[in-house]
C-alpha cells in the first residue's frame, strides 16, 4: 500500500468532511495520526495484522454525516471501502478494515472482537488522555473562559475530567491498553497533586 496516498486522502477528508471541531485547537487529522502511531506501538507489543491495523487507524475518522443521522463510524466505513476499492486493495482485507472502522466507537461492547479491532479501539481511547488531556483542559478553559480564564479554573477542569476518566479504564480492550491507560491516569493524578502544591 502507498501510505503517502492514504495519509493525503485522510488529511483531505478530515479537513473537508464538515465535522465541526469542538475547539479551535483540536485537529482531527493530528488526532488520527496519533491514533495511528499508538496503534503501531500496541501492535508491536500485542501482534495482529499490522497492515489491517494501520489502514483502520488511518481511516477511522474520515466520515461524517452533516445531519448527524448516521454514525460517523458507519459513514467512514463506507468511505474507506470506496477508497480502498479505488486503490485496488484486496477485497477480503477491505471487509476487515471496514469492520474495525464501523465498530471503533463501540467502546462499551462486550462482543468478541478481533485483536486488530481491539488495538485500534484502544489507540483511539488513549488519545487525548494523559499529558495531552491536561493540555486540552487548560486550553479549553482559556477558550471558554475568556477574561474569566485562570489557573484555578483550569485546575478544576483537569480534576473534573480526571474523575470522569478513571472508571473508563474498563473500556480498554487489551492488557497493554489497560496498562497504558493506567499510566496516563497516574500521570494526571501526579500532575494534579503537584498543581495543588503550587496553587494553594
Instruction: List per-residue pLDDT tens for the chain, 200 residues long.
Output: 789 999 999 999 999 988 888 888 889 999 999 999 999 999 999 999 999 999 999 999 999 988 778 899 999 999 999 999 999 999 999 999 999 999 999 888 889 999 999 999 999 999 999 999 999 999 999 999 888 899 999 999 999 999 999 999 999 999 999 999 999 999 999 999 999 999 99
Residues 23 and 82 in one domain: yes
Count of structural domains within the chain: 2
This prediction's pTM: 0.94
Q: How far apart are CA 137 and CA 167, in angstroms?
A: 18
- 103 and 141 within one domain: no
Cα–Cα distance, 33 to 52 (Å, whole number): 15
The angle subtended at Cα 94 by Cα 64 and Cα 112, nearest 5°, is 85
pLDDT at 103: 94
Q: Is residue 115 part of a domain?
A: no
Residue 171 is part of which domain span? 131-199
**Residue 163 forms part of a structural domain:** yes
Amino acid at each position: 500500500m502507498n501510505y503517502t496516498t492514504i495519509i493525503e486522502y485522510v488529511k483531505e477528508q478530515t479537513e473537508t468532511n464538515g465535522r465541526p471541531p469542538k475547539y479551535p485547537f483540536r485537529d482531527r487529522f493530528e488526532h488520527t495520526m496519533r491514533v495511528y502511531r499508538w496503534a503501531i506501538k500496541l501492535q508491536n507489543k500485542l501482534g495482529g495484522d499490522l497492515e489491517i491495523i494501520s489502514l483502520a487507524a488511518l481511516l477511522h475518522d474520515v466520515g461524517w454525516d452533516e445531519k448527524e443521522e448516521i454514525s460517523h463510524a458507519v459513514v467512514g466505513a463506507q468511505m474507506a471501502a470506496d477508497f480502498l476499492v479505488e486503490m485496488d486493495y484486496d477485497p477480503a482485507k477491505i471487509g476487515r478494515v471496514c469492520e474495525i472502522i464501523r465498530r471503533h466507537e463501540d467502546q462499551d461492547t462486550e462482543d468478541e472482537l478481533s485483536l486488530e479491532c481491539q488495538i485500534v479501539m484502544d489507540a483511539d481511547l488513549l488519545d487525548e488522555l494523559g499529558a495531552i488531556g491536561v493540555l486540552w483542559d487548560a486550553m479549553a478553559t482559556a477558550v471558554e473562559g475568556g477574561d474569566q480564564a485562570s489557573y484555578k479554573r483550569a485546575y478544576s477542569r483537569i480534576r473534573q475530567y480526571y474523575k470522569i476518566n478513571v472508571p473508563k479504564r474498563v473500556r480498554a480492550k487489551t492488557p497493554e491498553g489497560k496498562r497504558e491507560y493506567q499510566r496516563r491516569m497516574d500521570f494526571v493524578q501526579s500532575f494534579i497533586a503537584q498543581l495543588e502544591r503550587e496553587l494553594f
